Structure 1
Amino acid sequence: MVQLYGQFFTRQQLRERIGHESQIGGVRRLALTDGNQKDVEVIEFRTGSGLHFQVSPTRGMDIILAEYKGKAIGWRSRTGEVAPAYLETHGFIPRRGSFGGLVCTCGYSQVGNPCHDQGQEHCLHGRAQLSPATNVWAEAAWDGDEYKMWCQGKVIELDKFTEYFVNERRIETSLGANMIRIKDCLTNHSFQTQGHMMLYHINLGFPLLSGHTRLYAPSSDVRHRDKPSVDFDWTRYPLEPHTQVEDVLYHEMEADEEGYVTMALINETPGKARWGLQLRYTKESLPNFVHWFQPSPGAYVMGLEPSNCWVDGRAAHRERGELVMLEPGEQHHYEVEFKILDGEEEITSTLEKLKQVEMFEKLK
């Protein structure tokens, strides 16, 4: 059944009350037309619960915008969704079109600092975010009493002779839901063993992110990217934006009995109802976790980044023997799920479940 406005409806009951499902929510395809956003395609989702988000097939099938009941969840940069034709894949140049968004995919052959590896140049965070999808399909349809919404497409990273990665991405939700699920199936279609790096750059911003926001996460170990100790409370964020050098932390997250890592970012502003975002993913496929702090004016953003690598760049990973290798035809499956936490009952239930992971107790 569909839960909307505090009630439950069967398919028949809801259809009797509306002219078309798009009156409540749905999926539609749009195109941006202004400036260097020209030719960027957008797939817009509205679930009717207050959850609204946009996916861009032009930019790697990433989630470029997300909000709940008019409140932003993801951070967006000043660049906007620059079309790939206006960008180059050299060094740090991709920053000129780094839109932020709820999810920006980094990979598939490179994540992190620009580098040269075995004679090839690799730009900041790789080319997945700059690769338009093919075979794009967006749909909404009844399945019994559930009105499902989804989009899918293939994002391909290749060159003439070596790399040939195909990522089949599907993004799902449903009418009345406050959840987004990303399912990726990445295949090495080349005839050579290929190094593979994958990171979900999840960018949280104001008003979800504030000095009264706390991250509840099952971290058993944490260190700086470039030094061993962490000398601040990583569960909190600065109250006011201020200029500082970014902080990048590396965590060891503990999975639950089902193999999932679950964490929650909760806005606990005094005098207001708590609300937040739950993130859930599989530890086996995404064993690493990068935590990015950038509280500067105009860049008041925190990154939660499950990954199969760190952000030191492909060359450093190969040198340390940490580069994940995919054999010809080998597939890796990834799943990342977001859930809006709205109301004390949902938040309390989520935090109680988090306590089932032993390391969570260290945060108290």
Structure 2
Amino acid sequence: MSANWPISERALLEALVGDRRQLASIRQVELQDGAERGVRALVFSTGAGLDFWVLQDRSMDIGLLSWRGTPLAWHHPDGFADPALRPSSSDAGRGVQRALGGFLVTCGLDNVRQPRGDLPLHGSLPFTPARLISSFEDWSSPTPALIAEGEIVSAHLGKSCYRMRRRIEAPIAGSSLTIKDWVENIGPNEAELMILYHMNFGFPVVAPGTTVSLNHSPVPFKAPITSGCAKTDLEADCRPSAGTNGRFQVDLHRDASGPWPGIHVRLSGEASALPYMQFWRDPRPRRNVLAIEPANCDRNSDGTSGPGTTLAPGEVWTSTLQIEFSGP
């Protein structure tokens, strides 16, 4: 489908279906079993093979994601647990590891990476329930799209206070999604914003033969380990994100293998907002996750983060990420 739909195409669709949600939709669901009980989700289906869940009770992050029937997101063994059961502050500030999974976990806004002082691993934001502002199928715009917006507040009266507004769009009959974030300092003092987008890929797109590149330059990829491993097999590689045009582009590719089709994923965005790109790899048996992580702060040698972005009271930081899928 072209970017702008012709009038004739719209008229034909009206004549061929009783309900346009037959073609593409956002539906609200609530999970009912185990640790996931009560978690609310928005189920996006673009009608062209891109399907994903936006988890309202987990910071409007993305859980399940599949492209033309092939699952791409890595899942935590505990699924998409109710945030109340898995607080980030537990386990000496490493509680996020009890729930980190799905296609996207947004880390921040007061800390990312290793704990600092009383700030937990990957900060206080992950798994914070959102207030849903809207979710709808927009058939009237030049490019019809599925759209959802939510608001997440991460605030401590004695520390930093942030309000994040998130808008997720996916063109109907399209093969991409866009994540737009606005983070406002709603506190009375300057605050240091740290943010990292933890995008988690798993099998079958992460397997022997997978290739990764940043701005067309290859990134080393450790093949999965099927037996015998140690924690030292985990890797984190952080580097400047900017390409020649002030943007970044990450490409993840795997050719068809056995019953699994070939897949290509492209992530792009503005390097001015997210000047660092981190690649985190856990190749161990029963893990096999590759995380692609645009961030606004560098990684220190001890695993903590370098300086973030200082926001004055009322100042807003913005970013836009686009993810495109192709193949087979």
State the TM-score, normalizing by the size of structure 2: 0.90
Call closer, same or farther: CA 1:15–1:266 in 2, change over 3 Å: same
Which residue matches 2:169?
Answer: 172
Paired letter, 1:342: G
Q: What is the CA-CA distance between 1:175 and the residue it aligns to? A: 1.2
Alignment partner of 1:268 out of 225, 239, 255: 255
Q: Does 1:235 align with 2:235?
A: no
Q: What is the CA-CA distance between 1:54 and the residue it aligns to? A: 0.4
Describe the SS at the equivalent of 1:129: coil
Paired letter, 1:104: V
Question: Hey, what's the Cα distance between the residues in 2 that align with 1:290 and 1:133?
Answer: 26
Maintained 8 Å contact 1:169/1:185: yes
Call closer, same or farther: CA 1:304–1:104 in 2, change over 3 Å: same
Per-residue CA distance 1:152-211 (angstroms, 9 max, x = gap): 111110013332100000000121111010000000010111111000001111111111
Q: Does 1:93 align with 2:81?
A: no
Q: What is the CA-CA distance between 1:283 and the residue it aligns to? A: 0.3
Equivalent residues, number: 319
Call closer, same or farther: CA 1:190–1:313 in 2, change over 3 Å: farther
Call closer, same or farther: CA 1:238–1:68 in 2, change over 3 Å: same
Q: What is the CA-CA distance between 1:254 and the residue it aligns to? A: 3.2
Question: Hey, what's the Cα distance between the residues in 1 that align with 2:17 and 2:10?
Answer: 11
Question: Hey, what's the Cα distance between the residues in 2 that align with 1:300 and 1:45?
Answer: 26
Which residue matches 2:105?
Answer: 104
Structure 1 residue runs of 5 or longer lacking an equivalent are: 221-232, 344-364
Describe the SS at the equivalent of 1:169: strand
Q: How does 1:8-23 map to 2 (within 5 A)?
A: 10-23=9-22
Per-residue CA distance 1:237-287 (angstroms, 9 max, x = gap): 415544342011112233242x22112111124688642100101100000
Maintained 8 Å contact 1:164/1:190: yes
Q: Does 1:124 align with 2:121?
A: yes
Maintained 8 Å contact 2:88/2:126: no
Q: What is the CA-CA distance between 1:218 and the residue it aligns to? A: 2.4
Q: Larger helix proportion, structure 1 or 2?
A: 1
Call closer, same or farther: CA 1:115–1:173 in 2, change over 3 Å: same
Paired letter, 2:32: T
Which residue matches 2:156?
Answer: 159
Describe the SS at the equivalent of 2:21: helix
User: Superposition RMSD on alpha carbons, in Å?
Assistant: 2.5
Identity %: 25
161-170 or 186-195: bigger deviation: 161-170
Q: What is the CA-CA distance between 1:87 and the residue it aligns to? A: 2.1
Q: What is the CA-CA distance between 1:65 and the residue it aligns to? A: 1.2
Per-residue CA distance 1:124-168 (angstroms, 9 max, x = gap): 101211211114321112125532111011111001333210000
Question: Hey, what's the Cα distance between the residues in 1 that align with 2:215 and 2:54?
Answer: 29
Which residue matches 2:242?
Answer: 254
Describe the SS at the equivalent of 2:57: helix
Call closer, same or farther: CA 1:86–1:270 in 2, change over 3 Å: closer
Maintained 8 Å contact 1:57/1:136: no
Which residue matches 1:339?
Answer: 324
Paired letter, 1:75: W
State the TM-score, normalizing by the size of structure 1: 0.81
Maintained 8 Å contact 1:2/1:145: no
Paired letter, 2:323: F
Per-residue CA distance 1:54-84 (angstroms, 9 max, x = gap): 0011000001111011111111111211112
